[in-house]
Amino acid sequence: MPYFDIRSDKKNEVYSNDLFHVALCFDKNYLYPAINTMNSVHKHNNNIVFLCLCSNLDEESRSVLLSIKDYGVRLIELNWIKKIDTRFYPIDVAFNIYIPWIVPEIDKVLYIDPDMICLKNIEHIFKEDFMIAMSLELSGMVEELNKNLFKNQIPFVNPIYYNSGTCFMNCKLIRSAHSAEEIDKEFIDKIEEYYLLDQDFLNKFYCKEIKTLPISWNVQFYEFNGGYFYKKVIREAFFIHFSFHKPWRHTSSFKQSKLYLKYSSNKEIIKRVKTARRKRIRVSLKNFFLSPFRFIKRRIG
């Protein structure tokens, strides 16, 4: 891994290495969504500890994470040494693909995005033996519609495309088949090939080795909202994934923030979701009242 280094590796008081490991990658902007995600996992799972792979944290975020008392947190701070021009998304938190080598003593890890909410016990997945497993990106199947969004799926050997929001890794098996140097060569050295960085890479690199997890492991709100199976899918979900519009931003829909709030426990994030909701109401009222004038202006113009 000549492109980044491990700056620090700290554990909170209640961390125990003997439990199951769930990993998240985030920076200080995602601190509270990440804590909210971890809270939701902890609510349904007593045997899980968290690996927080972070970059650009400040002192306050660090102490917030390490002073968590309800569950184990191991905070590993990582730092990119070389500047990498990705052209699209910043590479800041794309450490998930290196997990098997960042924690070489750990054998199985479930990686999850910090914009997920867990709704059930998930511990049975750690008994599975597959090397790597993810759920499908349903919209990634509709090539014509999403050609630009999921543009890298097209040259892939595998005609199906996965979302990396939930990614189970048998790190031991991955380490025996691949090396970190190989990842550097195939990911960093060919970075211009990837648009949705880590997700495109995982799809391409592990292509034939990926086991398909049921969609209940990564229910993306945007894919099911308003759909015929919405209620059933939400009821059966292990994880709901709030991809695209974030519930704590004013661009989120009312229905989405309501669903996110229903399963949220972190006070800071609840406050942000509510503030965003008020801003959305203000913006839509403003647009509503301004629209006739805009219409008149257009007619005159």
Applying CB under 5 A, the residues found at the interface with Mn ion are 113, 115, 165, 243
Least separation in angstroms between residue 246's CB and Mn ion is: 9
Spatial distance between the Cα atoms of 41 and 109, rounded to a whole number of angstroms = 14
CB-based contacts of 243: which residues, under 8 Å, 6+ apart?
Answer: 113, 115, 163, 165, 220, 221, 222
Least separation in angstroms between residue 165's CB and Mn ion is: 5
Q: How would you classify the pairing of strands 20-26 and 48-54?
A: parallel
Least separation in angstroms between residue 199's CB and Mn ion is: 9
Least separation in angstroms between residue 242's CB and Mn ion is: 7
**What are the b/e assignments for 191-228, b being 16+ CB within 10 Å?**
beebbbbbbbbbbbbbeeebeebebbbbbbbebbeeee
Q: Which is nearer to Mn ion, 24 or 131 (CB)?
A: 24
Cα 68 → chain centroid: 21
**With contact defined as beta carbons under 8 Å apart, do 54 and 25 qualify?**
yes
Least separation in angstroms between residue 113's CB and Mn ion is: 3
Match 């650009």 to its residue by tokens: 56
Q: Which is nearer to Mn ion, 115 or 223 (CB)?
A: 115
Name the residue number minimizing CB distance to Mn ion.
113
Q: Which is nearer to Mn ion, 115 or 137 (CB)?
A: 115
Q: Which is nearer to Mn ion, 113 or 137 (CB)?
A: 113
Q: Which is nearer to Mn ion, 61 or 243 (CB)?
A: 243
